[in-house]
Amino acid sequence: MEYVWIALAVLAGLLVIALLGIAWVLSGIVVHPKINTREACVAYDREHGVDLSPYGREIKTEPFSFVSKEAGVEIKGMYIDRPEGTDFPDGRRRVIVLVHGYTSTLCGMLKYVEDYRRLGFDAVLYDHPNHGESGKKPTTMGDREKRVVCEVIDLAKARYGEDAVIGTHGESMGAATVMLHAAIDDRISFAVEDCGYSNLADQLAFNMKHVYRLPRFPLLAMASLFSKLRGGVLFSRVKPAEEVKKIPASLPMLFVHGTADDFVPSAMVFENFEAKKGEKELLCYPGAGHALSKNLHQKAYGENLEKFLRKYGIV
C-alpha cells in the first residue's frame, strides 16, 4: 500500500509540473507572441484580395517615432495625409487613428486607409509596443495599449490641429484597445471596433478549447498569473464590454464582425453592442473570418463606413 501512495504522489507531482509547464507556455503566447513583419502583413492582405502597393509610391507615407511614457519604449508609426484639396466647411481636419491587432503591425490596417482618405481624412497608424518596429514590451491585450492610444492622439493633434475631429478604428486586439480607450479619453468623436473580444478570459478559454483542446480550469487562471508575473496583465482585468458601458451615450460607435470568425467568436460583437448606450450601429458580414470583413466585402465595407460617418455628422 505504501508503494501505491508513493506512485500516486509521483503522478500528482508530474501532473502539477505538466500543468505549470502548459500554463507557462500559454502565458508566453499572450505576453510574448510571435510577431509578423510588416512585409508579411502586406502579403497576407494581398493574398486576401487587397492591393496595398500604392502606399509609399503613389500615396505618400511619412514615418514618425516617439518614446512612449506609458510603455517605456519607442513607438514607430506613419502619417498618411489626406488628398490635396480636401477641405471641410468647418475648417477642421478629420483624422483616423488606426489600431492593429494581435501579432500584426500597422500594415495590417492599411486596407482601411483609402475608405477614410476618399472622405478627406488624414490617417495615423502605428505599431503597438512589442509589435512591428516598435520597442519590446510585454503585450497586455489592450490594458496598457489603450493608454498608448492617448499618446498617439496627442501626436495627431499636434500635427493636424487641436481642433481636429479624431476617430479610432481598431481590429481584433486593436478593437478591444479602441473600446478600452474610448472609456478613458473624451477627445475622440467616434470609434469603430472590428472583431474585438468582449472579455479576454472568455476569448482565451474559447481558443484553448477549440485550438489546443485544453480545459479552462485550472489552466486559464494559472496562465493569467504567469502573465502578470511576466509583466503582462491578469486576463480578468481586460473586459472591453464592461468598459463600453462607461462610454458616453453621445459617442457614435460602429461594431463590426464576420459571421465566420473562429478566433474571436462572433457572438461577442452582440455583447459589445448591447453594452454601448446611446449612439451605435452594428454590422455583421456574412462568411467573413477573423479580421476579414473588409477583405471579403471591400465595397460594402467602405459604403457602410461612409453611411455611419455621414449619419453622425462626422463628414
**Unique residue bearing C-alpha cell 486576463:** 235
What pLDDT shows up at residue 241?
A: 98
What pLDDT shows up at residue 235?
A: 98
DSSP annotation of 236? G
Domains and CATH numbers, the chain: 1-31+200-237 (no CATH), 35-198+240-311 (3.40.50.1820)
Specify the higher pLDDT residue, 74 or 5.
Answer: 74
Pair type for strands 165-171 and 121-126:
unpaired
Grid cell locating 26: 500559454
Summarised one tens digit per residue, pLDDT across range 226-242 is: 999 999 999 999 999 99
Summarised one tens digit per residue, pLDDT across range 289-308 is: 999 999 999 999 999 999 99
Distance (Å, whole) CA 248 – CA 145: 21
Asked if residue 86 lies in contact with residue 105, where contact means CB atoms within 8 angstroms, the answer is no
What pLDDT shows up at residue 204?
A: 98
What pLDDT shows up at residue 10?
A: 80
What pLDDT shows up at residue 217?
A: 95
For residue 202, pLDDT beyond 90? yes
What pLDDT shows up at residue 56?
A: 82
For residue 162, pLDDT beyond 90? yes
Summarised one tens digit per residue, pLDDT across range 258-273 is: 999 999 999 999 999 9
> Which run of H or of E encompasses 179?
helix 173-182
